[in-house]
């Protein structure tokens, strides 16, 4: 049995972790923290857990006293906090999977530019393994510290991975148009996330400045083995959860649909959570909601010699908590789909 602790359990990603881990046959949640719901039972934060999960939430400050009770620590915290909490002593005792951005970028100066914070544990950046499960599986299995990817980078990178790896697209031509549900903004009280502010509206945000941009660029650069810069524009759409990315890139040489389809099938044939759809069927957020799947498909625009790749995930599952559990499974030698076989919810 894997004993788990969760710091920041009452945010949306933290709640999704609780839901998935409670259904995982090899995991027991030993404790959860929440400063907002300190000393209150978990079902006071989420009524859906009434008579299901009644543990009292402890303070973030108490977790070090309980570290010996667990095997894995999940940190679902605001950016900056995980780096301040995690140190080498903790990593000698437990495996850590961080759902914030604190360990995703390898350069502390880049982190400071995009997040406006001095990194509290720069000495751990090199040790952290980027937890994009389908790409970094070998390193994840050996890791002590996982930087769980962001939702936009997960959706974007997996959708373009085969094309970048095989040098099929002009890397200077990549444009990513992304759309996310409101849960991506978190549970904190924020005017821009209020019902009246988002309902019946769609808007671009973080234009040419979104914090996930350097993360996407860094991972794509590793894949292509060359420096990559992208144009990335996220949009907020009035749904609770779900993410759709539409990526555009110029093909270096003429390719047929079947040639590209064979490439995607080759790269993802062993990947349980990657579903490459049939020709002419394009991903929709409703077909992945509540699941750890990513759906991918593409269209070649012969008129412009561009390929259009569309992908969809649940931003709270494959884009956050589900991928964290997938990483945990790999770290502890379990089949990576253990506890993650939920069929997408519809309607």
pTM of the predicted model as reported, rounded to 2 decimal places? 0.97
4 strand-pairing partners: 29, 72
What's the pLDDT tens digit per position in 13-28?
Answer: 999 999 999 999 999 9
Cβ count near 299 (within 10 Å): 15
**CA pair distance 163, 155, nearest whole angstrom:** 14
**CA pair distance 52, 73, nearest whole angstrom:** 21
* Closest by CA position to 57, among listed 23, 96, 100, 8: 8
DSSP letter for 286, please: G
- pLDDT-derived band at 187 (thresholds 50, 70, 90) equals confident
What's the pLDDT tens digit per position in 261-307?
Answer: 999 999 999 999 999 999 999 999 999 999 999 999 999 999 999 99
- pLDDT-derived band at 185 (thresholds 50, 70, 90) equals confident
DSSP H or E stretch at residue 196 = helix 195-198
pLDDT at 320 over 80: yes
**CA pair distance 103, 84, nearest whole angstrom:** 11
**CA pair distance 142, 89, nearest whole angstrom:** 18
pLDDT at 188: 82
Helices (H) and strands (E) in the chain, counts: 10, 13
Domains of the chain: 2-127 (3.40.50.720), 152-317 (3.30.360.10)
Positions marked catalytic: 151
**CA pair distance 169, 46, nearest whole angstrom:** 45
* Closest by CA position to 214, among listed 130, 169, 153, 155: 153
């Amino acid at each position: 049995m894997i004993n788990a602790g969760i710091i920041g359990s009452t945010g949306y990603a933290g709640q999704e972790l609780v839901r998935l881990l409670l259904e995982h046959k090899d995991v027991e949640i030993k404790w959860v923290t929440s400063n907002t719901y300190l000393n209150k039972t978990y079902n006071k934060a989420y009524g859906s857990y009434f008579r299901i999960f009644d543990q009292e939430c402890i303070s973030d400050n108490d977790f070090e006293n309980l570290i010996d009770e667990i095997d894995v620590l999940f940190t679902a915290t605001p950016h900056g906090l995980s780096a301040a909490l995690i140190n080498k002593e903790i990593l000698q005792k437990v495996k850590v999977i961080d759902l914030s951005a604190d360990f995703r970028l390898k350069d502390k100066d880049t982190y400071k530019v995009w997040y406006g914070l001095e990194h509290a544990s720069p000495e751990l950046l090199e040790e952290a393994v980027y937890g994009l499960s389908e790409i970094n599986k070998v390193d994840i299995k050996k890791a002590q510290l996982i930087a769980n990817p962001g939702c936009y980078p997960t959706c974007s990178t997996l959708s373009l991975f085969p094309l970048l790896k095989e040098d099929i697209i002009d890397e200077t031509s990549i444009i990513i148009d992304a759309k996310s549900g409101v849960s991506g903004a978190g549970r904190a009280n924020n005017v821009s996330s209020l019902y009246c502010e988002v309902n019946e509206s769609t808007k671009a945000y973080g234009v040419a400045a979104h914090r996930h941009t350097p993360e996407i660029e860094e991972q794509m650069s590793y894949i292509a083995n060359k420096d990559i810069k992208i144009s990335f524009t996220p949009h907020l759409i009035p749904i609770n959860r779900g993410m759709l990315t539409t990526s555009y890139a110029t093909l270096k040489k003429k390719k047929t649909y079947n040639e590209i389809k064979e490439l995607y099938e080759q790269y993802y044939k062993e990947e349980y959570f990657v579903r490459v759809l049939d020709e002419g069927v394009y991903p929709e957020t409703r077909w992945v909601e509540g699941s750890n799947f990513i759906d991918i498909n593409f269209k070649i625009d012969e008129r412009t010699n561009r390929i259009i790749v569309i992908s969809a995930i649940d931003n709270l599952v494959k884009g956050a908590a589900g991928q964290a559990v997938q990483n945990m499974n790999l770290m502890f030698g379990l089949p990576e789909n253990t506890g993650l076989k939920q069929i997408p919810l519809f309607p």
